[in-house]
Structure 1
Amino acid sequence: MALGDAYEGEDPALPCGRTLSEVWETAEETPDDPHTVGCPHCQEALAQLGILDDYVREARDRDADEAAEAAAADRLTARVMDLVRTDLRPGRTLPLGEPADDAWITEAAAAKAFRAAAEALPTVFAGSCKVVLEVPDGPATVTMEVAAGLEWPLPELAERIRERVLAAADEAVGMTVSGVDVTVVDLIDAEADAGEERA
Structure 2
Amino acid sequence: MACGRLLSRVWEQAQDTGPTPDPHPTSCPHCRDAVEGLAPVNAATRALRTETSPSLYALVDRIMNVVRAEVRLGRLLPLADPVRDLRIAESAAARVLRQAADAIPGARAANCRLVRAEQDTEVRVTMTLAAALDRPLTERVHQVRRSVLDAAGRELGLVVVAVDITVVDVLETGPTPGPALSVRGGAS
Bucket of the pairwise TM-score, normalised by the shorter protein:
0.5 to 0.7
Match of 1:92 in 2: 75
Preserved contact between residue 79 and residue 121 of structure 2 (Cα < 8 Å): no
1:126-145 correspondence to structure 2 within 5 Å: 126-135=109-118, 137-145=120-128
Flag the 1:173–1:161 CA change in 2: closer, same or farther, 3 A. Answer: same
In structure 1, the partner of 2:157 is 174
Query: What CA deviation, in whole Å up to 9, does each residue of 1:97-131 have, x standing for no partner?
Result: 23431111000011001000000011211011010
Give me the whole-angstrom Cα distance separating, in 1, the residues matched to 2:147 and 2:87. 21
2:164 maps to a residue whose letter is D
Matches of 1:132 and 1:152 in 2, distance apart? 30
Number of residue pairs the alignment of both structures matches: 106
CA distance in 2, matches of 1:115, 1:170: 14
Residue number among 127, 130, 155 corresponding to 2:138 in the alignment: 155
**Cα displacement (A) at 1:151:** 0.8
Q: What is the identity, as a one-letter code, of the residue corresponding to 2:144? A: I
Kept in 1, the 8 Å contact 2:101–2:148? The answer is yes
In structure 1, C-alpha distance between the alignment counterparts of 2:149 and 2:95, rounded to whole Å: 14
Asked if the contact 1:96/1:174 (under 8 Å) is kept, the reply is yes
Amino acid at match of 2:76: T
Runs of 4+ with deviation above 6 angstroms: none
Matches within 5 A, 1:22-171: 89-135=72-118, 137-171=120-154
Q: Distance in 2 between matches of 1:149 and 1:101?
A: 42
Q: Which residue identity does 2:126 align to in structure 1?
A: T
Return the alpha-carbon distance in structure 2 between the equivalents of residues 89 and 150 of structure 1.
35
Give the C-alpha shift of residue 188 in structure 1.
Answer: 2.1
Please say which structure displays the higher CA radius of gyration. 2
Q: Percent identity?
A: 42
Segments of 5+ residues of structure 1 without an aligned counterpart are 1-14, 16-87, 193-199
Residue from 145, 159, 171 that aligns with 1:188: 171
Q: How far has the Cα of 1:181 moved from its partner?
A: 0.5
CA distance in 2, matches of 1:152, 1:105: 35
From the two aligned structures, give the one with the greater helix fraction. 1
5+ residue gaps, structure 2: 1-64, 66-70, 176-188
Cα offset for 1:89?
3.1
Does the 8 Å CA contact 1:123/1:191 hold for their aligned counterparts? no
